[in-house]
Amino acid sequence: MTDNRHAARKEIGDVAMGFGDDAGNVGVVRTEHVTFDQPGQELSLEGGGTLAPFTLAYETYGTLNERKDNAVLVTHALSGDAHVAGRHSPDDKRPGWWDMMIGPGKGLDTEKYFVICANVVGGCSGSTGPSSENPATGRPYGTDFPMITIKDMVNAQMLLLDHLGIDKLLAAVGGSMGGMQVLELAISHPDRAHLCVPLATAARQPTMAIAFNEVGRQAIMADPNWRGGHYYGGALPAKGLSVARMVGHITYLSDEAMEEKFGRRLQDIHDYTFTFSADFEVESYLRHQGLSFTNRFDANTYLYITRALDYFDLTRQHGTLVKAFENVKARFLVMGFSSDWLHPPYQLKEIVSALRATHKHVSYYEVESHYGHDAFLLEREKMEGIIAAFLASGAKTYQR
């Protein structure tokens, strides 16, 4: 598509999601940073060794009450960050990535709840990751950064909760990789969340997702500008990262959504050009998605986070999923999406079955949607009431 057509499509999407005004929005927000550099705050890593010191970027919305029993942690997906709601300035045209769900009167009602979102460790939006300065060398870590896992991300967030004086969350909510963090939190820290809401996720990274991630990593590492991960201060491996994002983005959509959105429509031409230019709208769209992604994301972070996703498997240390959930104390609302082929509903139902086998409190809700994996970022009307009711009901049974 041309730039104007991309802008028009984005504007239509923003208005459809209610971004055009501030009614129900949290307004202007700012990102906070906390550095863990004191004895006992070292982050012990699942793959061995420690990360110290390290910083987490986070944002909060609403007010923590005196009892500190209204905190809701929102965990983000692969390309997300701490900016989950509101705007960073009055003229900021891009609200937080889940702005549709967070604010006064919304599903995560900031008049009731204190909402927290942190950029994961290993990220590139303010938290310590491969692009951060290595204190041992004074230069960016690059691929000297240690491997991190979903469990490491969760453990870092528990230190953030300690910093905020929150012993126990009312709820942890997240989709895709965020859902994996919610599951890990429930298992590794059973006393720290009363409610858990994993959406569009799985208890282990499926083989197909590993395969797509590997294609993306190889695209980045094949870029001559990658230079073994030590490209900071020089040309960036933008072409490789762009291709990786294009591949990943395909998995976020569904066949129906792709057909409806693009079909075989041509891009500003009346017939084929018989060249390798972007003849089709879908080609132009993917190229735009890839290029725009390189402006806000670090290639090494993409490598590290996709590897963390691939390593995620709740059965690895527990043997079975049922055993993994044996000591869980949280109540669950598990939500799947009918057209999601990255994490199809059967993967969510596996989680539900394992929880029921251990006699846990669990509800399952499947959203009918043609948007594919991205539905959890789009289907506000179909999710909001269910999640709001679950939180309200859970608040009545909260106990420290």
Angle CA(307)–CA(308)–CA(313) in degrees, nearest 5?
A: 110
For residue 288, pLDDT over 80 is answered with yes
Q: Which residue has the higher pLDDT, 152 or 397?
A: 152
Q: Which two tokens stand for residue 182?
A: 């919610």
Catalytic residues: 176, 340, 373
- pLDDT per position as a tens digit, 53-97: 999 999 999 999 999 999 999 999 999 999 999 999 999 988 999
Q: Which two tokens stand for residue 273?
A: 């050009």
Q: Which residue has the higher pLDDT, 303 or 398?
A: 303
As a whole number of angstroms, the distance between CA 53 and CA 48 comes to: 16
Residue-level pLDDT at 93: 87
At residue 50, the 3 state secondary structure works out as: strand
Q: Hey, where are the domains in the chain?
A: 31-395
Residue-level pLDDT at 398: 87
Residue-level pLDDT at 400: 72
For residue 9, pLDDT over 70 is answered with no
- pLDDT per position as a tens digit, 252-274: 999 999 999 999 999 988 999 99
As a whole number of angstroms, the distance between CA 133 and CA 35 comes to: 13
* C-alpha distances in Å from residue 57, one per residue of 118, 121, 156, 297, 306: 6, 9, 11, 15, 20
DSSP letter assigned to residue 146: P
Phi and psi at residue 371, to the nearest 5°: -80, -10
Helix (H) or strand (E) run with residue 16 in it: helix 3-16
For residue 98, pLDDT over 80 is answered with yes
Angle CA(175)–CA(108)–CA(378) in degrees, nearest 5?
A: 45
- pLDDT per position as a tens digit, 125-166: 999 999 999 999 999 999 999 999 999 999 999 999 999 999
- pLDDT per position as a tens digit, 343-379: 999 999 999 999 999 999 999 999 999 999 999 999 9
Q: CATH class for domain 31-395?
A: alpha beta
Residue-level pLDDT at 23: 53
Residue-level pLDDT at 310: 98
Q: Which two tokens stand for residue 186?
A: 């429930």
Residue-level pLDDT at 399: 79
- pLDDT per position as a tens digit, 12-28: 233 333 333 445 799 99
As a whole number of angstroms, the distance between CA 224 and CA 240 comes to: 9
Residue-level pLDDT at 4: 36
Q: Which two tokens stand for residue 101?
A: 């769900």
- pLDDT per position as a tens digit, 185-227: 999 999 999 999 999 999 999 999 999 999 999 999 999 999 9
> In angstroms, how far is the first alpha carbon of the chain from the final one?
53
